[in-house]
Amino acid sequence: MTQLDLVNHALIGFDRIFNQLDNVRANTKTYPPHNIIKIDDNNWLVELAAAGFNKDELTVELHENTLTIRGRKQEQGDKYYLYRGLAMRNFEKSLYLQDHIKIKYADYKDGMLNIYLEHQLPESKKPKLITIN
């Protein structure tokens, strides 16, 4: 039994949150390696190592709160490898984002896919200052 299991049993009505945490833990993949950099309180950068891929073989998709990055390598049947040490296999990596985080833009340079994220709180969610008469 983990510490998360102990907390789960002490709280009622949080099943969905704990199921999401279990899914994140179960679906964590290490390939390809990536970094998540906090630029400031509202901006992040996801760096993903995708050496050997060209940008047409990569897709970045945001659906609800899930950022999914896919790499689909084109078959190169005409090459005969004596040794193949570079992992250039297909991949799918999902990152789960907080509400109201949007993709500003993505770029690909020198084998690194960079995805810039920004927290965009809607006006209806921002605190409102009430004037006192």
As a dihedral over the C-alpha atoms of residue 21, residue 104, residue 37, residue 15, rounded to 10 degrees, the angle is -10
| pLDDT block averages, 10 residues each, the chain of length 133 | 55 64 63 93 94 92 93 81 80 92 95 95 87 93
Residue type, 30: T
φ/ψ region of 64 (left if φ > 0, alpha if ψ in -120 to 50, else beta) reads left
As a CATH number, domain 31-120 is 2.60.40.790
Cα–Cα distance for residue pair 107/46, rounded to 1 Å: 11
Cα–Cα distance for residue pair 34/26, rounded to 1 Å: 17
Per-domain residue ranges of the chain: 1-29, 31-120
Give residue 3's pLDDT. 56
